[in-house]
Amino acid sequence: MTKGSNKLTYDNKIILAPMVRVGTLPMRLLALDYGADIVYSEELIDWKFLRTIRRVNDVLGTVDYIDRSDGTVVFRTCAKEKEKVVVQLGTCDSERALQVAKLIENDIAGIDINMGCPKEFSLKGGMGAALLRQPEKAKAILSTLVQNVKVPITCKIRVLSNVDDTVSLVKELVSTGIAAIAVHGRTKDERPQHPNRNDTLRRIAESTSVPVIANGGSREIEKYADIKKFRDECGCSSVMIARTAQGNCSIFRRQGQKELDTVIIEYLKYAVDYDNSPSNTKYCIQNMLKELQETPKGKKFLECQTLEQICFLWGLGNYCRKKELEYQAKGNLGRRQVTP
Ligand code: FNR
């Protein structure tokens, strides 16, 4: 996407939320097939990106960012998602963030800065929710990117416990020129079982000039119609969905959700087509199966170690074998995507 062309916009959109290990290429493509307008990558840490080298993978038809030290794929993308994929960065440093942005800006549609992660790892590194307490640093990161990068810049925050403080913070962040802001309606210390602060989201949306993307509604979103209900309740322009999509990605389908087995089959085809690692594939399917892991099929699944073994359980054994042979014939695949 070049400057002046159809830039990604964020109003009236339904979005796949950033999710570590879940938001890899197969899940993003599946979400787009089902009707998501925009898909966020999992959070990728700036210094990890800076250790990568960009490679066009002719066998898979992808662009891979490969770790120079161990050869693993840190980020894999393809033309099909180019105008819809937003890469979420974990960073506490505007210069490093800019270096990453310049490295990837021609392959993606947008860049988001994670300002909501409450995990020890992020907070200690001054990233994620730590930035909520350092608005000057947060603004410096956003301004640097807005002024020097050709794709739109956004950030994703959590609310503060005080509504007025949250509104002021959002105003400051928006003053940098970001294209939109995603807000998870829980504080850094609140957990998923706490109610989402939908009223705070409404107050933010009423006082902000850019699209506000409402997040945190998965407990209220069980079917497609609930997405609009959540959006209207929050008075926001767009909705971003994490856990409901992690469990059944077809929540994005206007026509209604598909059976879980169908979703798994469609997910697995993408995992095979894009040579996703068995461990990442298994993790994503585990999150779909949840308590079904206790069933006889679920137990067999837990024993699987290869993509082919997993595929076999859902009737895709031949599909997987054929694809692997096809790829071998075309040449070396390069290393698989490995997520810790
Ligand atoms: C997350 N979340 C998250 N947030 C973020 O900004 N970057 C990330 O990489 C992740 N990773 C992640 C992994 C998993 C497995 C889950 C369940 C969640 C938080 C997520 O994007 C979202 O803010 C919350 O889950 C609330 O939205 P829902 O789940 O109510 O739709």
Q: What's residue 174's pLDDT?
A: 98
Q: What's residue 11's pLDDT?
A: 97
Q: What's residue 316's pLDDT?
A: 98
Query: Is the CB of residue 285 less than 8 Å from the CB of residue 310?
Result: yes
Alpha-carbon gap, residue 137 to 144, rounded angstroms: 11
336 phi, psi to nearest 5 deg: -70, 165
Alpha-carbon gap, residue 41 to 39, rounded angstroms: 7
pLDDT-above-90 percentage for the chain: 94
| Rounded distance from Cα 242 to ligand 1 centre (Å) | 5
Average pLDDT, the chain: 95
Residue 340: pLDDT above 70? no
Residue 1: pLDDT above 90? no
Residue 309: pLDDT above 60? yes
| Rounded distance from Cα 18 to ligand 1 centre (Å) | 6
Strand, helix or coil for residue 114: strand
Q: What's residue 330's pLDDT?
A: 87
| Rounded distance from Cα 61 to ligand 1 centre (Å) | 29
Confidence (pTM): 0.96
* CA diameter of the chain: 61
Evaluate: CB of 17 within 6 angstroms of ligand 1: yes
From 14, 20, 38, the mutation candidate for ligand 1 (largest count of ligand atoms within 8 A of CB) is: 20
* pLDDT band with cut points at 50, 70 and 90 for residue 168: very high
Residue 337: pLDDT above 80? no
Residue whose CA lies nearest to ligand 1 atom number 14: 19
Amino acid at 323: K
* pLDDT band with cut points at 50, 70 and 90 for residue 298: very high
Residue 2: pLDDT above 80? no
Q: Where are the alpha helices (DSSP H) in 110-162?
A: 120-124, 135-148
Evaluate: CB of 128 within 6 angstroms of ligand 1: no
| Rounded distance from Cα 243 to ligand 1 centre (Å) | 7
Q: What is the pLDDT of residues 198-246, one digit of tens each?
A: 999 999 999 999 999 999 999 999 999 999 999 999 999 999 999 999 9
| Rounded distance from Cα 163 to ligand 1 centre (Å) | 22
Residue 3: pLDDT above 50? no
Q: How far separated are the first and last CA of the chain, in Å rounded?
A: 31
Alpha-carbon gap, residue 74 to 76, rounded angstroms: 7
Q: What's residue 6's pLDDT?
A: 78
Residue whose CA lies nearest to ligand 1 atom number 10: 19
Q: What is the pLDDT of residues 265-274, one digit of tens each?
A: 999 999 999 9
Residue whose CA lies nearest to ligand 1 atom number 27: 216
Evaluate: CB of 155 within 6 angstroms of ligand 1: no
Q: What is the pLDDT of residues 51-99, one digit of tens each?
A: 999 999 999 999 999 999 999 999 999 999 999 999 999 999 999 999 9
From 15, 19, 201, the mutation candidate for ligand 1 (largest count of ligand atoms within 8 A of CB) is: 19
Q: What's residue 71's pLDDT?
A: 93
Residue 195: pLDDT above 90? yes
18 phi, psi to nearest 5 deg: -70, 130
Residue whose CA lies nearest to ligand 1 atom number 13: 19
Evaluate: CB of 211 within 6 angstroms of ligand 1: no
User: Tell me, what's the ipTM?
Assistant: 0.99
- Catalytic site residue from 78, 92, 117, 234: 117
Evaluate: CB of 132 within 6 angstroms of ligand 1: no
Closest-lying ligand 1 atom to the alpha carbon of residue 128: 6
Evaluate: CB of 7 within 6 angstroms of ligand 1: no
Residue whose CA lies nearest to ligand 1 atom number 23: 184
Evaluate: CB of 22 within 6 angstroms of ligand 1: yes
Q: What's residue 25's pLDDT?
A: 98
Q: What is the pLDDT of residues 111-124, one digit of tens each?
A: 999 999 999 999 99
Is 117 assigned a catalytic role? yes
Residue whose CA lies nearest to ligand 1 atom number 18: 19
Burial class (CB in 10 A: 0-12, 13-18, 19+), 238: buried
Query: Is the CB of residue 319 less than 8 Å from the CB of residue 326?
Result: no
Q: What's residue 331's pLDDT?
A: 79
Q: What's residue 264's pLDDT?
A: 98
